[in-house]
């Protein structure tokens, strides 16, 4: 595509000017055609300056999601090598599930700049305004169904590590997979198995991060924050997505190598409320105890008056006291 060829030329010498004449010769199109594509790129958020004598210079790629920028930022070998980016979707997990049923491959990534009907666990609503990172990955790992839940633990660790690498910001994981900053939720993870696991072995891992929008765009009832609120600047969502995929790929490979205990330890190092008195809600029932850790399958271990008990993520909710 001409637009991408122009980008390739501009990106090859960042900060330097390339004349429209040279570009049109190299790409075998008119200078007017080059100019037209430059205008489209500017609309997409590429900061390009043009000077009559010197030509065009790429100063900055967009921070909003852009397939070309994301692909350039990817360092993975399998995750993200097929990308489906839409301006708006009901839910990236729903789209990823459709693609998985049509036979999409391991590592396919679905992104939307906005979700109209983002989902949390148990069909809860996930608010997804423009500026967030709403991403789903199709995974067909070499793991059994019994080990599938470990991938959501792995995803939490991957998000914490990516955010720390990029912004020196340490998030905490609230069991089972909420990502928190100062007691406020900044990201969530939703893992869903598609079809018969043993036949197709497909898991959709949805990751939602409140990034480049102010807290006030979310319902006031939520206990939430955003990266913009904390860092006071917009972040490059393409770099964020690529860095998460890099850490996630590392975690998936290590799980395939049966490094379950390593993952459990990594998860605990990033956990919040560990060793603290917490409450567990099971329907109407409230159980109190000390949060001792998690099992290898991610079940929560609680030291109660009646001894140590374990709870799976599906049956209970954790509430710090």
Q: Give me the residue label for tokens 């470990």.
A: 150
Q: Which of 289, 314, 129 is nearest to 224 (CA)?
A: 129
Q: Give me the residue label for tokens 């998936």.
A: 252
Confirm or reject binding of residue 108 to ligand BT5 (CB under 6 A).
no
Q: Can you tell me whether residue 167 is helix, strand or coil?
A: helix
Interface residue with ligand BT5 among 106, 121, 247, 264 (CB under 6 A) is 121
Interface residue with ligand BT5 among 34, 137, 159, 189 (CB under 6 A) is 189
Closest residue to ligand BT5, Cβ-based? 188
Q: Which of 236, 66, 93 is nearest to 155 (CA)?
A: 93
Interface residue with ligand BT5 among 126, 175, 291, 311 (CB under 6 A) is 126
Interface residue with ligand BT5 among 118, 172, 293, 298 (CB under 6 A) is 118
Contact yes or no for 106/136 (Cβ under 8 A) = no
Strands 172-174 and 178-181 turn out to be antiparallel
Contact yes or no for 288/304 (Cβ under 8 A) = yes
Nearer to ligand BT5, 66 or 136 (CB): 136
Interface residue with ligand BT5 among 66, 92, 149, 251 (CB under 6 A) is 92
Q: How far apart are CA 302 and CA 316, in angstroms?
A: 12
Q: How far apart are CA 302 and CA 313, in angstroms?
A: 13
- Closest distance between ligand BT5 and the C-beta of residue 74, in Å? 18
Interface residue with ligand BT5 among 158, 218, 240, 316 (CB under 6 A) is 218
Nearer to ligand BT5, 19 or 317 (CB): 317
Confirm or reject binding of residue 152 to ligand BT5 (CB under 6 A).
no
The C-alpha angle with vertex 225 and arms to 220 and 228, in degrees rounded to 5, equals 120
Using CB under 6 A as the criterion, what x/- string covers residues 222-241 for binding ligand BT5? x-x-----------------
Interface residue with ligand BT5 among 45, 50, 62, 120 (CB under 6 A) is 120
Nearer to ligand BT5, 92 or 251 (CB): 92
């Amino acid at each position: 595509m001409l637009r991408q060829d122009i980008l390739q030329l501009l990106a090859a010498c960042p900060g330097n000017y390339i004349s429209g004449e040279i570009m049109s010769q190299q790409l075998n199109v008119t200078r007017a055609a080059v100019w037209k594509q430059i205008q489209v790129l500017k609309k997409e958020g590429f900061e390009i300056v043009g000077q009559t004598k010197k030509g065009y210079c790429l100063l900055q790629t967009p921070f909003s999601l852009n397939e070309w920028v994301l692909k350039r930022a990817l360092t993975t070998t399998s995750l993200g090598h097929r990308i489906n980016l839409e301006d708006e979707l009901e839910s990236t997990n729903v789209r990823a599930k459709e693609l998985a049923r049509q036979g999409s491959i391991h590592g396919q990534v679905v992104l939307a700049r906005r979700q109209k009907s983002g989902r949390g666990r148990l069909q809860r609503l996930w608010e997804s305004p423009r500026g967030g990172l709403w991403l789903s990955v199709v995974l067909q790992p070499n793991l059994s169904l019994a080990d599938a839940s470990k991938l959501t633990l792995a995803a939490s660790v991957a998000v914490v590590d990516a955010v720390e690498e990029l912004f020196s910001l340490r998030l905490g994981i609230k069991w089972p997979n909420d990502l928190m900053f100062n007691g406020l939720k900044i990201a969530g993870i939703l893992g869903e198995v598609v079809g018969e696991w043993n036949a197709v072995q497909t898991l959709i891992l949805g990751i939602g991060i409140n990034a480049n929008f102010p807290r006030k765009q979310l319902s006031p009832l939520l206990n939430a924050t955003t990266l913009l609120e904390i860092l006071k600047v917009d972040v490059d969502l393409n770099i964020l997505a690529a860095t998460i995929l890099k850490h996630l790929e590392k975690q998936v490979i290590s799980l395939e190598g049966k490094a379950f205990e390593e993952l459990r330890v990594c998860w605990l190092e990033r956990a919040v409320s560990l060793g603290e008195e917490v409450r567990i809600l099971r329907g109407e029932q409230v159980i109190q105890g000390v949060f001792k850790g998690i099992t290898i399958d991610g079940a929560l271990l609680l030291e109660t008056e009646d001894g140590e008990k374990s709870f799976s993520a599906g049956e209970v909710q954790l509430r710090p006291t």
